[in-house]
Amino acid sequence: MPRIDPRDLTLEQKASLLSGRDFWTTEPLDEAGVPSLVLTDGPHGIRRQPGDADHLGINESLPATCFPPAVAVGSSWDADVAARVGAAVGREARAFGVSVVLGPGVNIKRSPLCGRNFEYYSEDPLISGILGAAHVRAVQAEGPGASVKHFAANNQETERMRISADVDERTLREIYLPAFERVVTEAAPATVMCSYNSVNGVPAAEHRWLLTDLLRAEWGFGGAVVSDWGAVADRVASLAAGLDLEMPGTGGAGDRAIVAAVRDGDLDEAAVDEAVRRVLALADRAVTATGDVDLHGHHALARTLAADCAVLLKNDGPVLPFASSVRRIAVIGESATSPRYQGGGSSHVHAARVDTALKAMQDLADARGQTVAHARGVGSGGREEAVRVAADADIAIVFAASEPETEGIDRETLELPADQVELIRAVAATALRTVVVLSNGGVVSLEGWHDGVDAILEGWLLGQAGGSAIADLLFGVANPSGRLAETIPLRLQDNPSHLNFPGEQGHVRYGEGVMVGYRYYETVDVPVRYPFGHGLSYTSFQTRDLAVTRTGDDTATVSLTVTNIGERVGKHVIQVYVATDAGPVRRPARELRAFSKVALEPGESRRVELELDRRAFAYYDIELGRWTVAAGEYTVQIGENAARTITEQTITLPGDTVATVLSLDSTVDEWFSHSAVGPALLELLSAGMTEEQAGASEENADQLRMIASMPMRRFLSFTGFAIDDDRLAELIELSRTV
């Protein structure tokens, strides 16, 4: 599209470009050659509605491939999996004439109850950022743009359109913003979508610090900011804050408000011009529907990727994969034939086809001379049938699913439906061996039945080919390699957000601060059922020869050798954590700072190198307003998971030179501990002390510690020490020059 100068357009024309024409398309400007763009839901498949439109996944959409949702992709710990999903979604978007795909979602799983956790990757911002950036790059390499969402602190569905997420800046910077920052700075998404909620009392759609100061000035975002559908309450305030495109259309109401505000002098037309420039740049991504999509090939891809996402939680015996001695297999549970493979709401995809685990297992069993019997296990009669089928088999596979998760509603419990728990326990009491396969969009409780079964395969929501992927894993066609991207607690009450979720009276307080997920569990030593990063394989891996080398004052390289010491090809996830007590703020026991997934043949070794940048060692200092590396020791840990360290090495970093500028509101401790001012002050005060005062100071160390936090002005007032104003000013100036 030829470049257009907004100044050549009328105010009315400019305003028309800044809101939707209808639910899914933008307003064209035919006289200027500006096309209409189609935006539609993703991120794990295209929800292209040819008829009546909605944002809740209710009305019909065109058949498309439903790939594994983010809850599954997050547990792959594999940027390549995220990229392959993104590339395929990009190809289907192009085929359907979609210019912008709404996704991925990189919000943090603060609470396991969030109803939309199935659309988010992890409780950790590093995983969310790396996978989100890979997805965006891959989508946009195919032509359509991506819209990373929901910016920011959108971590619940309860009151999502009006709740205020009250979060301190350090927590925002360290937990809830880094994934967005990485996607923006590394993948340059076409758009960023603002969230419905407020952040610290200001609606995200009107939050200038978020949309302009941080996103554009600090991170360098050059794309367009688009509203979540219906998130704009005040069109003029949102435009002034940095929101470019309001969706969906409002019948011209937003346009008229913009025009009136400019003409009344309430809105600078330069702000309108900037927003128009960004929307015009977005128009460069206009695509024409080709109709050319390989749904068969994408289904096969979805099957392969799904197998990389499932997590083998438990495998006593081991009972998986099925041994050659297993001749009779009992498949129990309704979800073996009616699978739950995606969540509800705006990301609901009209799947082109859906595989069932039962059919896929029957196909594999037939080829091996095994038999498969099925019982739905529904109702008391169905349970009796399930027990009979299980008793007659060498192994019983129970398929259990959580209550459906959906956009707009948070969950109330982590428990599986009671009838499914009863079914698991009844089968486990009868069968020789019992395996439970889970289907759920957020973690579920395993308590009450965990110890009675031999194996548990966490299948999450695996997309339309998930049934075949599960069969591949059970029969050993594929080797499970997923790792938990979120902790499975023993109790909901153990979750750090429990007392502050979902909030009250219009506010939700993020009282746990940076201690989210495994950061909390490991720091306060709360036991969990399965820790972040846990996952088993059908083979075994050995890690050796760890070397951590400083490459600068605040960067390092981690290298180690990984060997597949088992008998099957498999994939291993290297998890690098950093632990430190350095600095003036409380740090989590350890934090994930790098990871890599490697595929190894039996007996194969590989030397792997990972980089730790400055941020791997930094905390966000709210007093300095910047990322800071404190001087001290940092232990680089290679974890089997967040709870178990395999090997570690400690390095010492010099840290940042931070000049503490003193004032009379600075504490006594800050004055006396200052490298330059402290000795001068001590000499000055000592000179003015009597022998009796000096002796009392030495004898009353506890009292001196008591006043360490007292502001200097109070200290001088209470003690009666006389320091003239000129000398105090000299000491304060000395603190500035060090």
Neighbours of 418 (CB within 10 A): 9
- For 168, the token pair is 């301190």
The rounded percent of the chain whose pLDDT value lies above 90 is 84
CATH 3.40.50.1700, applies to 306-530: yes
- For 613, the token pair is 């940048």
| DSSP one-letter code for 536 | B
- For 107, the token pair is 């919000």
Instruction: Decide: helix, strand or coil at residue 498.
Output: helix
- For 465, the token pair is 């080919």
Per-residue confidence (pLDDT) for residue 639, from 0 to 100: 98
Lowest pLDDT segment from 35-39, 570-574, 705-709: 705-709
Residues of the chain within CATH 3.40.50.1700 domain(s) are 306-530
Judge whether residue 528 has pLDDT over 70: yes
- For 735, the token pair is 């603190």
CA proximity to 112, closest of 444, 348, 416: 444
Our CA dihedral for 213, 107, 598, 489, rounded to 10 degrees, sits at 140
Q: Do the Cβ atoms of 461 and 341 come closer than 8 Å?
A: yes
Per the rule left: phi > 0, alpha: psi between -120 and 50, beta: everything else, 33 is left
Determine the distance from the C-alpha atom of residue 334 to the mean position of all C-alpha atoms in its chain, rounded to a whole number. 31
Judge whether residue 217 has pLDDT over 80: yes
Per-residue confidence (pLDDT) for residue 231, from 0 to 100: 97
This prediction has a pTM of 0.94
Q: Quickly name the fold that domain 541-653 has.
A: Immunoglobulin-like (2.60.40)
530 exposure class (CB count in 10 Å sphere: 0-12, 13-18, 19+):
buried
Cβ neighbours for 446, distance < 8 A, ≥ 6 positions apart: 313, 456, 488, 529, 530
Judge whether residue 380 has pLDDT over 90: no
- Helix, strand, coil percent content, the chain, rounded in steps of 5: 35, 20, 45
Per-residue confidence (pLDDT) for residue 35, from 0 to 100: 95
Q: Do the Cβ atoms of 204 and 151 come closer than 8 Å?
A: yes
| DSSP one-letter code for 417 | P
Judge whether residue 54 has pLDDT over 80: no
Tell me the per-residue pLDDT of 653-694, one tens digit each, with 9 for 90 and over. Answer: 999 987 788 999 999 888 888 888 888 887 777 765 555 655
| DSSP one-letter code for 404 | P
Q: pLDDT band for position 702 (50/70/90)?
A: low
Q: pLDDT band for position 551 (50/70/90)?
A: very high
**Which alpha helices (DSSP H) does 264-407 contain, by range?**
269-282, 295-307, 357-368, 379-391
Beta sheet of 164-166, edge-to-edge order: 202-203, 198-199, 164-166, 507-509
Q: Do the Cβ atoms of 49 and 61 come closer than 8 Å?
A: yes
Catalytic residues: 228
Rounded Cα distance between 31 and 626, Å, is 47
Tell me the per-residue pLDDT of 262-272, one tens digit each, with 9 for 90 and over. Answer: 999 999 999 99
Q: Do the Cβ atoms of 272 and 306 come closer than 8 Å?
A: no
Averaged pLDDT for residues 470-499: 98
Tell me the per-residue pLDDT of 608-648, one tens digit each, with 9 for 90 and over. Answer: 999 999 999 999 999 999 999 999 999 999 999 999 999 99
Tokens 């027990």 correspond to 387
Q: Do the Cβ atoms of 492 and 113 come closer than 8 Å?
A: yes
Lowest pLDDT segment from 104-108, 205-209, 304-308, 380-384: 380-384
Residues of the chain within CATH 2.60.40.10 domain(s) are 541-653
Q: pLDDT band for position 564 (50/70/90)?
A: very high
- For 634, the token pair is 């940092």
Indicate if the alpha-carbon torsion angle 352, 358, 360, 363 is positive or negative. Answer: negative
Q: Which residues, listed in sequence order, are joined to residue 223 by a DSSP beta bridge?
A: none
Per-residue confidence (pLDDT) for residue 692, from 0 to 100: 61
